[in-house]
Structures are given as C-alpha cells and as structure tokens.
C-alpha cells in the first residue's frame, strides 16, 4: 500500500506549533514581522507574495508589504533593503525573485542582513548550512526534511537521489541530506541536465527528490520498489479546463504510485511545507533577535 504524504496536514501541524511560539513571543511583548518586497508585475510573483502575506496574518505574524516599480533604479531596492535591515521592528526580509534584469540579484542576496534572511540565501547562511551549522534552512528543503520525518522515512544510511542542482532547492537539499545530523546521514547523488542515464541513478535510490521543473519526467519505470518519492516540481501544462492549464509535478504520479512506498502529491505535498517553513524561519528570526526563547515545532 503506497502512503500518500499529506503536506497540507504536516504544514498545519507546523503552523499549530508556531502558534504556541508566537503566543510566547506575544507574552514577552514581541510580534514577529516579515517584510515582503516585490519588484515585479509578474502575476505569479504577485500571487506568491500575497499568499505569503496571508499565511503570516493567519498565524499572527505582521506582514509588511513593500512594492517597488519594476522600472525603478536598482538603488531603490538596495536602499529599501538597507532601511529594513536597520528597522528593529522588522524581523524577516524576503525579496521575491526574480527581480528585473537591471537589478543584480546576487547583490540583493548579499545586502539582506543575514539575521533577517529568512529565505536562507545569503552567502553567509549558505556557508553555515554547508558547514552543518545552519542559521535558517531554506524553506523548501527544510520542509521536505520535515515531511520525511513525519512520514517515518529514515534518511540515515539511505541512498538519496536529488534531481536538480539549483541554489534554492537541489543544492541545499543535497547538503541537508548529507549532514551528519538528524534528517541527514544519507548517501546523496545529485543529478542535473548533464547527468547520463538518470533512470539508472533514480532506480538505485531509496529516496528520490524530484526538483527539475520538467513535467512528469520521472515515472514508475525509473523507481525502485518501495522508494520514497518527493515531488518538488510545480509545472503549468495546457489543459482542457476553464483556466486553460493545470499544475503537475516532475513525477508522473499515477505510474510512480504503483511502485513507490510513499509519495507526495502535487498540489498538497511540498508546496504547503515551503510556505510553513517561511513562517518558521520568521518566528526563529524574531526569537534570535529579541532573545525571547521559544520552542520551535
Ligand atoms: P531550476 O530551473 O532553477 O533548476 C532545475 C534543475 O533541474 C537544474 O539543476 C537543471 O539542471 C535540472 N534539470 C532540468 N532538466 C533536467 C533533466 N531533464 N534531467 C535532469 N535534471 C534536469 O528550478 P528550481 O530548483 O527553482 O525548481 C525546480 C522545480 O521545483 C520547478 O518546477 C519549480 O516550480 C518547483 N519549485 C517548487 C517549490 C515548492 O514549494 N513546491 C519551491 C521551489 C521550486 P542544470 O543545472 O544542468 O540546468
């Protein structure tokens, strides 16, 4: 019987646990605050930011909404980040990517105070993660670690294949899985677009994390019997419905579930966890900055 790993349920548990931490902060007179900065008129980016703000408000985190005209000079974004860094009432800063071409996205990441970098993408935070001393784990791989733990999937000693090597998913995921720590101790193979015979790699894996952004590229024939399959992909494909499209993962769910021991659906798998872990990092940031100790879920 294949287990369907319910990301909505696990994310809800995380949010409940954060509610207790937020209450403890409130008792000490502290309200966590996350500033989201949007410099784009891309509808998908607008939707992501408004979902993040709604999530914050639902759990009692103040959402500070900053929008910058995409045609404004890069300096306007840099100055905004500097102001947010200096503002003691702001605990977390998230600049929605991608930023316009005339803005240096590496400079954006470097500019955010690492203590307020709740995405975990500042080079200092990336370095700390690799060194096994993470300050803020990036939301998607951290959420996947939580999903695996909730599903009772043992990473220690497991052969894990991560398909994708992006800075936001693949690389930090591989790093977390290889750490000598809880949720780690796996033997990790990282695959990408130049990997030869991907199927041979995935077939040898106890855990497959699919984060390539290619619709349904991993099917049941590429999996070992009983493998755990985590589908990170969110891909729009044409569909004969009102919207004209539907969202599918990087895994062909129907054939994969015939073989897998456990699998995440899309939607309802990794996506809700990514959102929950942003709240987690914001609460953690508030605790670190105010010195009010909380128990994190
Ligand atoms: P990127 O496009 O930045 O990276 C994709 C990676 O996949 C690259 O390393 C690329 O290789 C590799 N790749 C592409 N095609 C293949 C292939 N045919 N075989 C093997 N590897 C391949 O994507 P992201 O990491 O940002 O996102 C990946 C997916 O996850 C997307 O669908 C995205 O929408 C989704 N996503 C979902 C989130 C969630 O919360 N559910 C959060 C973040 C992302 P190379 O490096 O060689 O180009």
Q: What's the alpha-carbon Rg for the chain, to the nearest Å?
A: 19
pLDDT digits (tens, 9 = 90+) for 40-71: 999 999 999 999 999 999 999 999 999 999 99
In the three-class reduction of DSSP (H, G, I as helix; E, B as strand; rest coil), residue 205 is classed as: coil
Residue 166 Cβ < 6 Å to ligand 1: yes
Give helix then strand counts, H and E, for the chain. 10, 11
In the structure encoding, which two tokens stand for residue 129, read together?
Answer: 């993660």
**Please, which pLDDT band fits residue 239 given cuts at 50, 70 and 90?**
very high
Q: Which residues have CB under 8 Å from 263's CB, separation 6+?
A: 2, 3, 4, 5, 228, 229, 230, 231, 251, 253, 256, 257
Q: What is the DSSP letter of 157?
A: T
Atom of ligand 1 nearest to the CA of 165: 9
Q: What is the CATH number of domain 28-119?
A: 3.40.50.10860
CA of residue 20 to ligand 1 center, whole Å: 35
Report the distance separating Cα 263 and Cα 252, nearest Å: 11
**Any ligand 1 atom below 6 A from CB of 169:** yes
Evaluate if residue 223 carries a pLDDT over 90: yes
Report, as residue numbers or ranges, the catalytic residues.
Answer: 52, 96, 119
Query: What is the 250 CA–ligand 1 centroid distance (Å)?
Result: 9
What fold characterizes domain 139-272? Answer: Rossmann fold (3.40.50)
Ligand 1 touching residue 234 (CB < 6 A): yes
Each domain of the chain, given as residue ranges in start order, spans: 28-119, 139-272
Rounded distance from Cα 105 to ligand 1 centre (Å): 18
Nearest by Cα to 6 from 242, 193, 194, 271: 271
Give residue 16's pLDDT: 97
Query: Per the omega criterion (within 30 degrees of 0), is the bond before 218 cis?
Result: no
For the chain, what percent of residues have pLDDT higher than 70? 100
Backbone angles phi, psi at 88, to 5 degrees: -65, -15
- pLDDT computed for residue 260 by the predictor: 98
The stretch 185-210 carries a mean pLDDT of: 98
pLDDT surpasses 90 at 145: yes
Distance of CA 212 from the midpoint of ligand 1 (Å): 3
Residue 1 pLDDT greater than 90, yes or no: no
Residue 167: CB atoms within 10 Å:
11
Q: Alpha helix locations (H) across the chain?
A: 7-27, 43-59, 74-86, 105-111, 123-130, 139-150, 170-178, 198-203, 253-259, 270-290
pLDDT at residue 106 tops 90: yes
CB of 290 sitting under 6 A from ligand 1 = no
Q: Is the dihedral of CA 232, 178, 14, 112 positive or negative?
A: negative
Tell me, what's the pLDDT at 18?
Answer: 98
How far apart CA 154 and CA 203 sit, in angstroms, is 18
User: Could you report the per-residue pLDDT of 244-272, keeping only the tens digit for each?
Assistant: 999 999 999 999 999 999 999 999 999 99
Burial label for 121, CB within 10 Å (0-12, 13-18, 19+), is buried
Question: What's the predicted TM-score (pTM) here?
Answer: 0.98
Rounded distance between C-alpha atoms, residue 153 and residue 24, angstroms: 31
Are the CB atoms for 268 and 281 separated by under 8 Å? no
Question: What mean pLDDT is predicted for residues 127-155?
Answer: 98
139-272 and 28-119 share a CATH fold: yes
211 C-beta closer than 6 A to ligand 1? yes
């Amino acid at each position: 019987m294949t287990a369907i790993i319910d990301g909505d349920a696990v994310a809800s548990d995380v949010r409940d646990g954060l509610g207790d931490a937020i209450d403890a902060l409130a008792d000490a007179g502290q309200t966590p605050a996350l500033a989201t900065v949007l410099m784009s008129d891309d509808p998908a980016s607008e939707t992501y930011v408004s979902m993040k703000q709604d999530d914050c408000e639902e759990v009692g985190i103040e959402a500070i909404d900053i929008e910058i005209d995409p045609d404004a000079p890069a300096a306007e974004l840099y100055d905004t980040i500097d102001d947010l860094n200096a503002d003691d009432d702001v605990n977390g800063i998230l600049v929605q990517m991608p930023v316009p071409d005339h803005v240096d996205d590496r400079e954006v990441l470097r500019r955010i105070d690492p203590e307020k970098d709740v995405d975990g993408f500042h080079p200092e935070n990336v370095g700390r993660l690799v060194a096994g001393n993470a300050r803020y784990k990036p939301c998607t791989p951290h959420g996947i670690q939580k999903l695996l733990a909730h599903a009772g999937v043992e990473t220690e000693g497991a052969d894990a294949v991560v398909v994708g090597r992006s800075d936001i998913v693949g690389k930090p995921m591989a790093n977390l899985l290889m750490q000598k720590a809880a949720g780690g101790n796996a033997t990790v193979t990282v695959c990408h677009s130049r990997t030869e015979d991907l199927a041979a790699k995935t077939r040898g894996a106890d855990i497959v994390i699919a984060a390539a952004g290619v619709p349904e590229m991993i099917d049941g024939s590429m999996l070992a019997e009983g493998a755990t399959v985590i589908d990170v992909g969110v891909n729009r494909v044409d569909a004969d419905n009102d919207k004209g499209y539907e969202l599918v993962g990087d895994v062909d769910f129907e054939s994969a579930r015939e073989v897998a021991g456990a699998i995440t659906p899309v939607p309802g798998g990794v996506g809700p966890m990514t959102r929950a872990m942003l709240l987690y990092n914001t609460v953690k940031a508030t605790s670190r900055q105010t010195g009010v100790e909380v128990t994190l879920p």
